């Protein structure tokens, strides 16, 4: 199960945003939007670096475009400059593909979920993650709540 960073503990200076957090932040009608804003407020007046992946930005922008329209997708993509956006390399995809077969008995994890796992656990050295996706939360990642 995911490990959660508890309230009151020191906030990380680097966090990884998955697609569900990006969607929640730019989707004001979403049930997770206020929670996304509350998490953001906890980081107020602190230096913080945000990381994500290009495939996750693509996923989030597509969903925002379909359900909220061009302006919301565009707002997310204008905010790209705030992120260190990583591009998965071939090894990341190969490893995620292997895990896809290994871990996916219930067929719920997407390749992007597994790419997130591979990169957060590897290159990003178990960086804390912002996510509202149960599949991501179920993996052994440090979820910021």
Residues found near another protein in the complex (CB under 8 A): 19-21, 23-33, 36, 40, 43-50, 59-60, 62-63, 66-69, 71-72, 75-76, 78-84, 107-110, 113, 132-135
Q: Give the closest residue to 134 by CA, choosing from 18, 51, 5.
A: 18
CA dist 87 and 41 (Å) reads 28
Closer by beta carbon to another protein, 47 or else 90: 47
User: Which residues in 57-82 are b (16+ Cβ under 10 Å) and which e?
Assistant: bebbbebbbeebeeebbeebbeeeee
Residue 134 C-beta: closest distance to another protein, Å: 6
CA dist 33 and 10 (Å) reads 23
Q: Is residue 118 a contact partner of residue 92, using CB atoms and an 8 Å limit? A: yes
Closer by beta carbon to another protein, 14 or else 142: 14
Residue 144 C-beta: closest distance to another protein, Å: 12
Closer by beta carbon to another protein, 95 or else 114: 114
Residue 61 C-beta: closest distance to another protein, Å: 11
Closer by beta carbon to another protein, 81 or else 90: 81
């Amino acid at each position: 199960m995911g490990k959660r960073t508890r309230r009151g503990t020191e906030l990380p200076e680097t966090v990884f945003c998955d697609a569900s957090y990006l969607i929640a932040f730019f989707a004001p009608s979403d049930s997770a939007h206020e929670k996304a804003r509350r998490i953001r407020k906890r980081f107020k007046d602190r230096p913080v670096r945000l990381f994500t992946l290009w495939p996750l930005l693509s996923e989030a922008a597509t969903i925002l475009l379909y359900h909220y329209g061009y302006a919301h997708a565009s707002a997310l993509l204008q905010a790209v400059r705030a992120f260190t956006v990583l591009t998965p390399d071939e090894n990341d995809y190969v490893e995620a593909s292997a895990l896809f077969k290994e871990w996916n008995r219930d067929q719920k994890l997407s390749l992007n979920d597994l790419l997130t796992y591979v990169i957060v656990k590897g290159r990003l050295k178990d960086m804390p993650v912002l996510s509202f996706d149960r599949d991501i939360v179920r993996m052994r990642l440090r979820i910021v709540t």
